[in-house]
């Protein structure tokens, strides 16, 4: 598997925010979101080859039970099931962070952290925007993920105007538990995060959705490896 980075930090986002976790970032993502904070992991070869055993050994150098498989887009990696099985044999708690564009059945995963991409993520470049728009939202895949795994649904929010699209997406997916929906400020820096958070907090109060913090930006201002 091509791994971009493996590091130990706190989970910054979602219902497990604050939990010390080992992050395994797989290389490769076709979406090219305009505000992506891990552009360095976009290419399939953005990293170095690891065998599954080497990944597990590296994870085991840290003391956490919690492992976060992230990207890039981990669900497009055909070796993912093999890695997850090894981790489950070690009784790890596994979170997979995905944009929800690919489905793999029957993998050991304790939390599918799904972040469907709204139109606020579409890149300006016409060539990239076509690729992005063709694949950013697959309602059938989102439905499978939600029906078959424990999940959280994190929407990256730029402004209040995103709310109607969020509601429409939830309605299209169907069967979404509103208690598992989170709204997360779109922000690359601490200043941006603090500036946008009050608006998102108000949106959460008026909808009942949960505010999703981004602890890694608050603490470290989006430094790679945090
Ligand atoms: S899906 Fe995630 S990793 Fe891929 S481009 Fe979008 S924000 Fe970046």
Burial class (CB in 10 A: 0-12, 13-18, 19+), 48: exposed
Does pLDDT of 47 surpass 90? Answer: yes
The three-state (H, E, C) secondary structure of the chain, written as one string: CEEEEEEEEECCCCCCCCCEEEEEEECCCCCCCCCCCCHHHCCCCCCEECCHHHHHHHHHCCCCCEEEEECCCHHHCCCHHHHHHHHHHCCCEEEEEECCCCCCCCCCCCEEEECCCCHHHCCCCHHHHHHHHHHCCCHHHHHHHHHHCCEEEEEEECCHHHHHHHHHHHHHHCCCCHHHEEEEECCCCHHHHHHHHHHHHHHHHHHCCEECCCHHHHHHCCCCCC
Please tell me the distance between residue 33's alpha carbon and the centre of ligand 1 in angstroms: 5
Residue of 43, 73, 97 to test ligand 1 pocket, by largest number of atoms within 8 Å of CB:
73
Put simply, whether the predicted model's pTM sits higher than 0.75 gets the answer yes
- Give the C-alpha separation, 42 to 46, whole Å: 7
Question: Does 214 score more than 90 pLDDT?
Answer: yes
Taking only the tens place, the pLDDT of each residue in 71-129 is 999 999 999 999 999 999 999 999 999 999 999 999 999 999 999 999 999 999 998 99
Ligand 1 contacts (CB < 6 A) are 29, 31-33, 36, 38, 71-73, 99
Pocket of ligand 1, candidates 71, 114, 188: which has the most ligand atoms within 8 Å of its Cβ, to mutate? 71
Residue 223 has a pLDDT of: 86
Tokens of 29: 């993502």
How far is 123 from 133, CA to CA, in rounded Å?
A: 9
Q: Is the pLDDT of residue 222 over 90?
A: no
Q: Give the mean model confidence (pLDDT) for residues 195-220.
A: 97
For residue range 167-200, what is the model confidence (pLDDT) as tens digits?
999 999 999 999 999 999 999 999 999 999 999 9
Render pLDDT for 123-169 as a digit per residue (tens, 0 to 9). 999 989 999 999 999 999 999 999 999 999 999 999 999 999 999 99
- What is the distance between the alpha carbons of residues 60 and 63, in angstroms, rounded to a whole number? 7
Report the nearest-CA residue for atom 6 of ligand 1: 33
Please say if the pLDDT value at position 50 is more than 90.
yes
């Amino acid at each position: 598997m091509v791994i971009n980075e493996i590091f130990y930090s706190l989970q910054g986002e979602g219902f497990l925010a604050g939990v010390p976790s080992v992050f395994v970032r797989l290389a490769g993502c076709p979406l090219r979101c305009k505000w992506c904070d891990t552009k360095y992991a976009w290419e399939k070869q953005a990293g170095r080859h690891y065998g599954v055993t080497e990944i597990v050994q590296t994870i085991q150098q840290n003391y956490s039970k919690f492992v976060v498989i992230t990207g890039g887009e981990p669900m497009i990696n055909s070796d993912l099931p093999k890695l997850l099985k090894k981790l489950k044999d070690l009784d790890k708690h596994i979170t997979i962070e995905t944009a929800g564009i690919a489905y793999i059945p029957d993998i050991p995963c304790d939390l599918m952290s799904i972040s469907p991409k709204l139109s606020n993520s579409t890149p300006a470049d016409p060539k990239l925007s076509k690729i992005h728009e063709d694949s950013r939202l697959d309602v059938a895949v989102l439905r499978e993920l939600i029906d078959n795994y424990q999940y959280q649904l994190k929407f990256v929010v730029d402004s209040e105007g995103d709310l109607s699209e969020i509601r429409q997406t939830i309605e299209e997916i169907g069967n979404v538990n509103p208690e598992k929906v989170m709204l997360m400020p779109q922000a690359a820096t601490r200043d941006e995060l603090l500036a946008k958070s009050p608006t998102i907090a108000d949106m959460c109060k008026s909808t009942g959705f949960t505010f999703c913090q981004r602890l890694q930006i608050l603490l470290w201002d989006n430094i790679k490896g945090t």
